[in-house]
Structure 1
């Protein structure tokens, strides 16, 4: 039984999931955990005879996490479609991520680095792993003319919710006595990690209660469903020949995503190492970035409505390229504040546009046909490419950082990803459906 499209409660519930999981993306991967990790872990150390710096280890944690999920995602999304378990897997990854986040409370120094590393990996896998199932709901619950606005609403709600929690965390870190916490040690910061886990799980489960239930399909167990999933993925790959615009878009998407995601993950470490930012200052930077990103997501949707998705993506990628070039020359904190505002302007926009653009060029998108049952597998291609791009981008960033001793060269090289994205995008075409 097909779920009714454009149901207001369902659309709001879907967008609420961004409100829930964006707290992890902001507080754990961007604002508080990276500088905390750097403070708690020695500048240089060895593992199994290999030498690492704290920043390179952190970059490789991201690389490893996304490599794991990139390998699992096609299989899991295939199982979700073959077994009718889209919602089930979204709940599984959400629960895993939330628990991983809660475990970071026990990371308080070099002796517990393994807890911090493992908790971060599990949290990141839970966060990233759930996105393919979350994104795949878009063509199931909405018509194509709603994709841009609904996608932008989700990102905007994510920014608002994560900013609210980050302000609470800033107060907790700066004024722990307001919350009955000791004014010494790392307790306040570690409690901030706990609030993220609780926030994520609480609002995500509210969102899940409003999404369409799974329609379970008969099967003989996990292995049978996995085999069905791989068969479905092969069919989707073969059908890609019928959708050349989808293939062209994915090539451009892979290129510029390597730059976008690497900047988002490692910007705070760049600010701390290269410009001497303190944790409180970094939180202010991230708050500026997030507030501007709310407007940026809607700006991208408006440009898309007026000029089309392709024009809007070009606009975003040109700004991203300039950001990487300017970052190479930044020396002052005020300059970095301005640069952070520019990142916020295009951070949400390029992600929101990418998600909605892809939804328009796969079955059930541009031509308005009904969404197919294997929509999760189609979004798996999108999702896996983004994760492989993150693996490639973060690994290259860390390698160049170790090789040159400066993160500036790594930032500058990221501009190449955006330029390549624009080159590949030149061969892409999308027809935007008219608005009601």
Structure 2
């Protein structure tokens, strides 16, 4: 066999192995996205709020650890607390993954911790709002840690020119999974009487089933993804703990200021995205007085259109570049929130229209942000850098929920709370527009794709 033939065979084997890993990688989004959809976006917000209200005093306040908290803000504050836990853990896990190359066992530990906490939500009920808050914090933080490791695989399993497409397919798999499970949830919730279940029990089954789904489908990527050997740098700093490791990661990022500039823009606008995802059901149920079944149908519409949006915006990025396509999506997000402020109560059709607008921009803005950031990460620092990236991803952003909760606490209006989030998209747009992404890719030492 000639040298050229051997090289061609090796390239073919490499492509086959890469495709196998990519297909396995898609299935982690398929596994965990049901948590983001069924639990965080649809059921847990209204349900945990109702549990907190059942435990509230005459003035509508609960008192976790003796702190007076309006029952309607407890869910938002729990989401904020979860990111504090995640911030302590993610940089440490990311640094360990990069230095040891053992992403897969760490991914398994995070995935099954989150899946177990989610399955444990079956035991919520009565006035157990503290249990609900604890399980939410554990599940959200575990999801964040697992996504650090999952995202860090992207630069290793996809060539630069295929990352937008691979990332978009991953999000599409996740939204397809969310839509499928939501259909099953809708059947169970709407027909709970015919199944001999109370509405409360039906909700708890929907919450717990998301944990079982997460754990079962996580087996696919854990079988197909593989760890890479790492070249140990004797001069590398030892792994720190919590905040110390985060500070060390950010100090390292100072050597790549353009990467840090993109990350700042992303953290701000994605904080808005994740807050809308986590608080939309509370806004729909508490402010717009919509039934739970209406909220489920709306989120199902978001999931279906997000598949279309993720793949469609991936195609737009091939022509116009990822940065420009993301900027368009941020403008659409701001207009969507402005429209949401004026939605009339008890009018499902307008809420469905709003859901359609969100769905078309949701998947694409997230998928392209992930693939764009992957080009800005220095080789060998994937998990560590993605730990900082993940701080504001997948419903664990803390500033947005805090602003949402405080706005409601001060004004008593969810409309004021939802419109307060526009600032995240406006500021994120301005900061991203100022980042020279081609120069940032070169500065990170990576090849520049034809379209970026």
Report the TM-score when normalising by structure 1: 0.89
Cα 1:404–1:148, aligned 2, differ >3 Å: closer, same or farther? same
> Pick from 46, 62, 73: which aligns with 1:35?
46
Contact 1:254/1:385 (8 A) holds in 2: yes
Contact 1:5/1:141 (8 A) holds in 2: no
1:336 match: 351
> Pick from 67, 74, 77: which aligns with 2:91?
74
- What is the 5 A alignment of 1:308-323? 308-323=321-336
CA distance in 1, matches of 2:228, 2:68: 47
Range with bigger deviation, 426-435 or 344-353: 426-435
Cα 1:387–1:338, aligned 2, differ >3 Å: closer, same or farther? closer
Cα 1:285–1:81, aligned 2, differ >3 Å: closer, same or farther? same
Secondary structure at 2:94 match in 1 = helix
CA distance in 2, matches of 1:279, 1:237: 42
1:411 match: 418
Contact 1:77/1:229 (8 A) holds in 2: no
CA distance in 1, matches of 2:78, 2:30: 25
2:437 match: 430
Contact 1:400/1:410 (8 A) holds in 2: yes
- What is the 5 A alignment of 1:30-429? 30-42=41-53, 44-110=61-127, 112-176=128-192, 181-184=195-198, 186-213=200-227, 215=229, 226-227=239-240, 237=250, 240-331=253-344, 332-363=347-378, 372-384=379-391, 386=393, 390-429=397-436
Cα 1:122–1:227, aligned 2, differ >3 Å: closer, same or farther? closer
Cα 1:203–1:409, aligned 2, differ >3 Å: closer, same or farther? same
Secondary structure at 2:218 match in 1 = helix
Cα 1:108–1:202, aligned 2, differ >3 Å: closer, same or farther? same
Cα 1:229–1:117, aligned 2, differ >3 Å: closer, same or farther? closer
1:20 match: 31
Secondary structure at 2:290 match in 1 = coil
CA distance in 2, matches of 1:138, 1:58: 32
Structure 1 unmatched runs, 5+: 364-371
1:369 match: none
Contact 2:88/2:241 (8 A) holds in 1: no
1:368 match: none
Contact 1:5/1:143 (8 A) holds in 2: no
CA distance in 1, matches of 2:261, 2:213: 38
Structure 2 unmatched runs, 5+: 1-13, 54-59, 439-447
Contact 2:25/2:225 (8 A) holds in 1: yes
Secondary structure at 1:373 match in 2 = coil
CA distance in 2, matches of 1:348, 1:207: 21
CA distance in 1, matches of 2:349, 2:114: 35
Range with bigger deviation, 23-32 or 233-242: 233-242
Cα 1:229–1:47, aligned 2, differ >3 Å: closer, same or farther? closer
CA distance in 1, matches of 2:405, 2:50: 18
What is the number of equivalent residue pairs in this alignment? Answer: 419
What is the Cα-based RMSD across aligned positions, in Å? 2.7
CA distance in 1, matches of 2:392, 2:381: 18
Range with bigger deviation, 11-20 or 411-420: 411-420
Secondary structure at 1:109 match in 2 = coil
Report the TM-score when normalising by structure 2: 0.86
Contact 1:232/1:374 (8 A) holds in 2: no
Cα 1:380–1:63, aligned 2, differ >3 Å: closer, same or farther? same
CA distance in 2, matches of 1:284, 1:345: 16
Q: 1:189 deviation in Å? A: 2.0
CA distance in 2, matches of 1:153, 1:409: 35
Contact 1:84/1:217 (8 A) holds in 2: no
Cα 1:266–1:215, aligned 2, differ >3 Å: closer, same or farther? same
Cα 1:268–1:227, aligned 2, differ >3 Å: closer, same or farther? closer
CA distance in 2, matches of 1:298, 1:232: 36
Q: 1:426 deviation in Å? A: 2.0
CA distance in 2, matches of 1:217, 1:190: 47
